[in-house]
Amino acid sequence: MRWTVPRSLGRWALWLSLLVLLVCMVGTLVWLAGRYEVSQVENRMAEDASDAVSDIRNGLTRNVQSLQALQFAGQSAAPWEQEAASLLREHREWLRLEWRDVQLQLKSEVDTPFRSAAFSHMGTMFQMPEVVQACSVAQRQSGPGYSASTYVPQANGQGLEVMNLCLPVLNNGELVGFTVATYALNEILINFLNAQLLRSQEVSFTEADGTRLAMHGAVQRGARVFTAKQLLTLPGNTMVLRLDSWRAAPDLFPNVLTALVTMMAIALAGVMGLLARDMRRRQRVESDLADALAFRKAMEDSLVTGLRARDNQGRITYINPAFCEMVGFTSKELLGHGIPAPYWPPEMVDEYGKRQALRLAGNAPPREGVESVFMRKNGERFTVLIFEAPLINATGQQTGWMSAVLDVSEQRRIEELSRASQERLQATARLATVGEMASLLSHELNQPLAAIASYATGSMNLLHEATVTDPQLASSLNDAMQRIGQQAERAGKVIKSVHDFVRRRDQSRVEVAPRTLLDNVMPLVALQARKLGVRVEVRCASDLPHVLCDRTMVEQVLLNLSRNAMQAMQDDTPYKTLTLLVRTAPTIPSQQWMEFVVADQGHGIAEDLAEKLFTPFFTTKEEGMGLGLSLCRTVVEQHGGVLQHSPNPPRGTVFSFTLPQA
Ligand code: ADP
């Protein structure tokens, strides 16, 4: 959550600046549109003003022509007055017409019939200076001259702004008098200007300083006023014609352009609003998604099952921490890795490659999973159970395979242990049976053996008494009989020892010289050695310390080891020598021990067999029982000694066991 604050702030700032920009843009557009409209109005008004000025000028010029016509009406007062009166009826803008002589003395005058005499209140002399001014201009210009305007108060309390026009009267090029016409300024506006113009705006004459002289036109309609001014220059007088136009205060929608712009702005604001809402919705979805993702990640990280996803080309696209831990590779090393995967044992690459090809061809793996062997980074192999399922993406297409991988090596180890102990149990049961059998046999064989021994003795006695012709033959027969008796006795002893051993009776331990032990087994060893073509080498000093042991059983051990050694050399061994050696064991402290060594040059013992050698019933021979070594070890261990074996370079095996010194 730490990063949310500045991020959302930034987002708000962005939205705010977008809004400000939008408002500025729309404001500028509206203002420009307004400005455009104002300038349009102003242009139109400037045109109107100049049109109005030219209208007035034309009117004035036409009036000058009418007055010039009046001058030809005659030199006497009566026809002039008649003519003047008719002119005044046609021209409402004129208040009065005067005929003056060269000295400006009034010769004749006629007032307009449309209003009561304008000057009745103030008298005509009231505006004499203006008449003089106008006529002096007219005289100077030999044409129409105008006076400045004058305010003439009226009897009803109101007033009139008037202006005089003076026209020189020439007779054969000689000045003979003046015609003076008095204009009412507001009548000029009424009569000379286009009614259309007056309908929508107010027209007025002003002085240069803005003082309003006369005005006419529409009443004020609206708050906003547009003004246009135009100079009206007349000989002797200059006035300003001013047009005022009112508009209903700055229109919100002055024209189509502004309306369009405003509508677009509103639409834009609407779209922005929608966008903002969409954005908010997206943000909500985004945060929901982030939550879901975090949840999923926590779940995957806490799993002990390894997860692995591969694409359709077999490249690894995803692995969880449990998988990395299982195989010992980092996710960096695994991600994107194709076939063969680094955790495939090299010897399995071919088989796994084929399995992979099958999978990619669309063959679904069995639901109950596939057992496989993987290799950790350190080379250790371990058994895994893999469950695979197709990986389907959002559009329903298969993009690869998802696998759950279980490390079952520990489980397998336990199964193996239990199997081994089961086997041991069975072996023990069989051993027990063998023991029973041995007891039974020893019991059953004792009597025939005793019978053999006594028959042998009887035969020897009879041989003594009988007359023997050949003393040499008699001695040989006697020897043979003696041997038969000895071996029958020995067989009886063996049977008794085995019987005792199986019954776990206390064995009778006796002190015996090692040499004696060897000598006792020698006849039987030599017999077999002769048969197998083996040379027997015995190395045993006669002064060695005695050992404390059950002699029959130890002799049996020596016999067993020798027989195994000779059988190992049976085949293609070049030098068949069996070495029997007795020495004091140097390495074992606290008690003095003797070591018996049986060495051969046979085929040796393969490494994988070494562990099983002492297991009861383990044998590699066709008629073997697999009980010899097991029995030997038990016998030696019952004496407190150790039976072990090691290679005998360059060829063969050395078996050795220790026995306590007496
Ligand atoms: P058996 O002699 O009946 O097979 P043992 O317990 O005496 O049973 O021997 C078990 C196995 O140990 C033999 O089958 C043989 O493979 C192996 N073995 C014993 N001694 C030797 C030896 N000196 N050299 C090579 N292999 C031996």
Tens digit of each residue's pLDDT (9 = 90 or more) over 331-360: 888 888 888 888 899 888 888 888 888 877
State both tokens at 296: 């999923």
Kindly give the distance from the C-alpha atom of residue 425 to the centroid of ligand 1, in angstroms, as a whole number. 22
Q: Ligand 1 pocket, 628 CB below 6 A?
A: yes
Q: Across all residues in the chain, what is the average pLDDT? A: 84
Strand partners, 180: 98, 166
Q: Is the CB of 605 under 6 A from ligand 1?
A: yes
Instruction: Give the pLDDT score at 145.
Output: 94
CA 88 to chain centre: 99
Report d(CA 199, CA 201) in Å as an integer.
6
What count of other Cβ atoms lies within 10 Å of the Cβ of residue 599?
Answer: 20
Closest to 544 (Cα-Cα) out of 488, 472, 481, 595: 595
How many A from CA of 568 to the centre of ligand 1? 8
Q: Decide whether any atom of ligand 1 lies within 6 Å of the 625 Cβ.
A: yes
> What is the Cα 549 distance to its own chain's centre?
79
Between residues 490 and 164, the one the model is more confident about: 164
DSSP strand pairing (577-585 vs 535-539): parallel
Q: Structure tokens of 370? A: 């596939």
- Least confident segment among 19-23, 196-200, 382-386: 196-200
Residue 128 corresponds to which tokens in the numbers above? 């004499």
Is the Cβ–Cβ distance between 216 and 199 less than 8 Å?
no
Amino acid at 476: S
Atom of ligand 1 nearest to the CA of 620: 14
Find out whether the peptide bond into 650 is cis, omega within 30 degrees of 0. Answer: yes
Mean local confidence (pLDDT), 654-661? 94
Q: Are 235 and 146 in contact (CB under 8 A)?
A: yes
From the list 221, 126, 263, the residue with the least C-alpha distance to 182 is 126
CB atoms within 10 A of CB 629: 22
Please give the full DSSP string across 117-128, using - where no structure is assigned. Answer: -TTTTT-GGGGH
> Is the minimum distance from the CB of 647 to ligand 1 under 6 angstroms?
no
Nearest CA to ligand 1 atom 8: 626
Q: 512: which 2 tokens?
A: 């015996």
Cβ of 613 less than 6 Å from ligand 1: yes
**pLDDT at site 255:** 63
* Residue 472 dihedral angles phi and psi, to the nearest 5°: -65, -45
pLDDT of residue 2: 45
Please identify, by atom number, the ligand 1 atom nearest to the C-alpha of residue 625: 3
The whole-model pTM stands at 0.43
Read off the pLDDT of each residue in 643-660 and give the average, rounded to a whole number: 93
What lies within 8 Å, CB to CB, of 346 at 6+ separation is: none
pLDDT for 30-42, tens place per residue? 788 778 878 888 8
pLDDT digits (tens, 9 = 90+) for 56-100: 999 999 999 998 888 876 677 888 888 899 999 999 999 889 999
* Residue 1 clears pLDDT 50, i.e. is over it: no
The single residue listed with the structure tokens 């074992």 is 588
Q: Report yes or no: 307 and 356 within 8 Å, Cβ to Cβ.
A: no
**619 Cβ closer than 6 Å to some ligand 1 atom:** yes
Ligand 1 proximity of 601 Cβ (cutoff 6 Å): no
Ligand 1 centroid, distance to 569 Cα (angstroms): 12
Q: How far apart, in Å, do the first and last CA atoms of the chain sit?
A: 84
Q: How confident is the model at residue 507 (pLDDT cuts 50, 70, 90)?
A: low
**Atom 20 of ligand 1: nearest residue by CA position:** 564
Position 12 scores a pLDDT of 81
Q: Which two tokens stand for residue 207?
A: 């002085």
- Range list of β-strands (E), 271-392: 306-311, 316-319, 370-375, 381-392
Q: How far is the CA of 623 from the centre of ligand 1 (A)?
A: 11
- What are the backbone dihedrals phi and psi of residue 23, each rounded to the nearest 5 degrees, phi first? -60, -45
